[in-house]
Homo-oligomer: A and B are copies of this chain.
């Protein structure tokens, strides 16, 4: 049976690894990047604490000795569910069974001005772009004499008070506290404001009120200005307009306020649910299609407990991949009793800054914060990163950053040409 897995994120990669070298399966894994991305640490790439390579694992390396898994670095243009074809920019790939594991991207909820000017952080490359923007704005600030422009360059707004928004706000606040004033002695950092804008009444709204309040205290302690019940209206690249509140002058808006599923073209509108997710049954089979499954962020398995589908987090994607691997094996053997997916809540956590985090565990039910939570957060993320080498390098970077109070990767790797080489290139003496 030829199985095509679209996407090498947590769900797609787990499924491909479970099917790796299993007789009876030919697997093609399609991914637009040539590496698996460890999304939970994007914010540390963005804030110069980790290298992009530390959280990226070459997909071909995972399957180097595989007899049945092939990688295709390609962008999916369309799925033809009639012909059973995935149409990509690098040719068509036929399937007996398709697993859509394409994840989710940034959701600007229809606001074109934000889509154009705000920064999102849903890929490693986007995280690097945020890092570059942060660094470049301070470089520009050094020679800026107009106070209004200076405010724009130094102010930073993060929209969205979920874990990503909280984590990136806290990391930038740590940079402001420990690194930036040393790097830019010419700048007055009392002018730099970090805003976290949240639409609901509290940050980390998916966690308990206790954790939420704790995170808020940590953020306040770090000097982050948290604006709750705040609606973003418009952003033109220089001023962020909020509903019923003063506008904020800023050249940097990081958008972490929403995601939506990356559904390839070709699916019937009736199978698309809220948040652009594919409706699936309890075996992750896409509604109305016999040979197409969807797992992870892009799948919406609706139930009484989860009317909008499961939380769009790594454990849900991984668990669905694991259940689907069992289902596929049973189908291959012609068995009928297929076990429905059952989500095991692993709890939630978010780190706010140096020594500061919040953790909620379901079994045993346990909520805690501060330094112990921060240690648990780090240990867990180290365990989850793919590859011994990445794990070692992340650990060493963290150790270095912790001991030196220094996010050391303040590097702008951007393409641009030297004027003399551009203009003089061919008029050689």
A421–B262 CB distance below 8 A: yes
Q: Which of A105-113, A210-218, A311-319, A364-372 contacts B (4 or more CB under 8 A)?
A: A105-113
A427 at interface by CB-CB < 8 Å: yes
A112–B426 CB distance below 8 A: yes
A385 at interface by CB-CB < 8 Å: no
Given contacts A182-B64, A412-B34, contact A143 B51 (CB under 8 A): no
A221 at interface by CB-CB < 8 Å: no
Q: Which of A54-62, A234-242, A326-334 contacts B (4 or more CB under 8 A)?
A: A54-62
Q: Give the chain B neighbours of A52 by CB distance below 8 A.
A: 411, 413
Q: Give the chain B neighbours of A406 by CB distance below 8 A.
A: 61
- When C-beta atoms are compared, the residue in chain B nearest to A387 turns out to be B408
- When C-beta atoms are compared, the residue in chain B nearest to A127 turns out to be B413
CB distance from A38 to the nearest CB of B (A): 12
Q: Which of A305-325 contact B (CB under 8 A)?
A: none
- Measured CA separation A304–B390 after assembly (Å): 53
Interface string of A54-80 (1 = CB under 8 A from B): 001010110011000010110111000
Given contacts A61-B408, A428-B260, contact A419 B90 (CB under 8 A): no
A142 at interface by CB-CB < 8 Å: yes
A363 at interface by CB-CB < 8 Å: no
B415–A276 CB distance below 8 A: no
A190 at interface by CB-CB < 8 Å: no
Q: Which of A123-145 contact B (CB under 8 A)?
A: 124-125, 128-129, 135-136, 139-140, 142-143
A344 at interface by CB-CB < 8 Å: no
- Measured CA separation A142–B265 after assembly (Å): 25
Q: Give the chain B neighbours of A293 by CB distance below 8 A.
A: none
- Measured CA separation A276–B406 after assembly (Å): 40
Q: List 12 A-B contacts (CB under 8 A).
A: A32-B418, A33-B412, A35-B412, A52-B413, A60-B183, A61-B183, A72-B142, A107-B428, A112-B426, A125-B414, A129-B415, A389-B408
Q: Give the chain B neighbours of A73 by CB distance below 8 A.
A: 136, 139, 142
B262–A420 CB distance below 8 A: yes
* Contacting residue for A413 out of B109, B128, B276, CB 8 A: B128
Q: Give the chain B neighbours of A105 by CB distance below 8 A.
A: 418, 420-421
B428–A60 CB distance below 8 A: no
Interface string of A400-420 (1 = CB under 8 A from B): 100000101111111110111
Q: Give the chain B neighbours of A90 by CB distance below 8 A.
A: 139-140, 143
- When C-beta atoms are compared, the residue in chain B nearest to A122 turns out to be B421
Q: Give the chain B neighbours of A416 by CB distance below 8 A.
A: 32, 75, 125
A188 at interface by CB-CB < 8 Å: no
CB distance from A117 to the nearest CB of B (A): 13
- Measured CA separation A129–B53 after assembly (Å): 15
Chain B CB count within 10 A is highest, among A60, A73, A139, A275, for: A60
A379 at interface by CB-CB < 8 Å: no
CB distance from A262 to the nearest CB of B (A): 5
Given contacts A105-B421, A392-B396, contact A409 B262 (CB under 8 A): no
Interface string of A233-270 (1 = CB under 8 A from B): 00000000000000000000000000010111100000
- Measured CA separation A421–B32 after assembly (Å): 13
* Contacting residue for A77 out of B56, B128, B260, B419, CB 8 A: B419
* Contacting residue for A265 out of B51, B56, B112, B420, CB 8 A: B420
Q: Give the chain B neighbours of A265 by CB distance below 8 A.
A: 419-420
